[in-house]
């Protein structure tokens, strides 16, 4: 078994036509060229010899897709010379977040933060100065990350090139942030990988955060995986799909995997961001199997219409 470790390279992709995930939005993009970040795969052994840095790289550049928010985008796509250097705007219906520089630059990034401070920023959602990190940082999901995974992410972030990129804009929220995201989390371990559903739930919930986007949180009843959350960006508005068995239950495993890895639905239409398909394209085969097994196990739930 091999585990993909990746680096980001630019690639021009020519496409004929893309459509929104909402039929009512109709066809949004016309024929053209999109410059995207494509992940070039190299392989490291997924064994006991795998180093924490290698594992952290896999998490950051595949499952957790940190660059999807922390690498700024220009008119031609991700600015690869500013990998993980922040400044990207993440727009939601009730906030406009600006991602931070998480490279080791000592002045504009996290170069002066200790390993413990980085760990707490990821796990607890709190900066060294005590301020709370707001959305779109998925702090509530990351509170369930295993200690080994958080430590591996910290180890890898120490190795990425330091990029000086002052991020002066502040995130704006239409609501008050809480005092904290909860009491300090104790020692956590990931579920065993041979329990595919439990491990898949861990990947979909805490690591890849599928359920954050595909669950609507502003309704009276929270239905996990039923979709309906709107996202705003240069593409217009995209709405998270229902990924419970009522939404994709008749899809084959191969069709689900294709949608996750390539952003192409079973009927061939192109899915829209913010789902980080170029990152997810390099999820390890065994992890993909666990993710799909978990999605198959979700209760059947009808889609929640945006309102």
What's the total number of domains in the chain?
1
Q: Does the residue 104 lie in any domain?
A: yes
Q: Does the residue 240 lie in any domain?
A: no
Tokens of 98: 């600006």
Q: Does the residue 234 lie in any domain?
A: no
Q: Does the residue 43 lie in any domain?
A: no
Q: Does the residue 230 lie in any domain?
A: no
Q: What is the pLDDT of residue 215?
A: 86
**pLDDT digits (tens), the chain, 307 positions:** 444 444 433 322 222 223 333 333 333 333 333 333 333 433 333 434 489 999 999 999 999 999 999 999 888 888 989 999 999 999 888 899 999 999 999 999 999 999 999 999 999 999 999 999 999 999 999 999 999 999 999 999 999 999 999 999 999 999 999 999 999 999 999 999 999 999 999 999 999 999 888 988 766 666 888 888 888 877 788 999 999 998 999 999 999 999 999 999 999 999 988 889 999 999 999 999 999 999 999 998 876 544 3
User: pTM value?
Assistant: 0.81
Tokens of 238: 């995209």
Q: Does the residue 90 lie in any domain?
A: yes
Q: Does the residue 268 lie in any domain?
A: no
Q: What is the pLDDT of residue 92?
A: 84
Buried b (16+ CB within 10 A) or exposed e, 21-58: bbeeeeeebeeeeebbbbbeeeebebeeeeeebbbbbb
Q: How far is it, in rounded angstroms, from Cα 12 to Cα 6?
A: 18
Q: Does the residue 137 lie in any domain?
A: yes
71: containing domain: 51-175+183-188
């Amino acid at each position: 078994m091999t585990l993909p470790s990746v680096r980001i390279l630019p690639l021009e992709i020519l496409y004929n036509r893309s459509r929104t995930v909402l039929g009512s939005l109709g066809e949004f993009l016309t024929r053209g060229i999109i410059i995207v970040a494509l992940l070039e795969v190299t392989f490291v052994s997924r064994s006991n010899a795998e180093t924490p840095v290698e594992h952290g790289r896999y998490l950051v550049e595949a499952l957790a897709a940190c660059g999807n928010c922390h690498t700024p985008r220009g008119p031609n796509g991700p600015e690869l010379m500013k990998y993980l250097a922040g400044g990207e705007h993440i727009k939601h219906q009730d906030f406009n977040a600006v991602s931070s520089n998480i490279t080791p630059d000592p002045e504009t990034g996290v170069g002066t933060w200790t390993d413990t401070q980085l760990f707490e920023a990821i796990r607890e959602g709190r900066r060294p100065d005590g301020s709370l990190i707001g959305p779109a940082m998925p702090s509530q999901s990351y509170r369930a990350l295993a200690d080994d995974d958080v430590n591996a992410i910290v180890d890898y972030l120490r190795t990425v090139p330091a990029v000086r990129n002052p991020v002066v804009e502040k995130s704006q929220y239409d609501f008050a942030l809480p005092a904290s995201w909860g009491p300090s989390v104790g020692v956590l371990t990931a579920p065993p990988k041979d329990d595919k559903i439990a491990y898949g739930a861990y990947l979909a919930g805490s690591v890849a955060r599928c359920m954050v986007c595909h669950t609507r949180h502003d309704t009276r009843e929270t239905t996990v995986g039923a979709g309906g959350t709107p996202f705003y960006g240069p593409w217009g508005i995209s709405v998270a799909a229902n990924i419970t068995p009522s939404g994709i239950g008749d899809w084959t495993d191969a069709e689900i995997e294709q949608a996750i890895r390539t952003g192409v639905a079973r009927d061939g239409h192109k899915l829209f961001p913010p789902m980080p398909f170029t990152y997810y394209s390099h999820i390890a085969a065994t992890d993909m199997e666990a993710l799909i097994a978990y999605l198959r196990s979700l209760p059947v739930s009808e889609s929640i219409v945006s309102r």
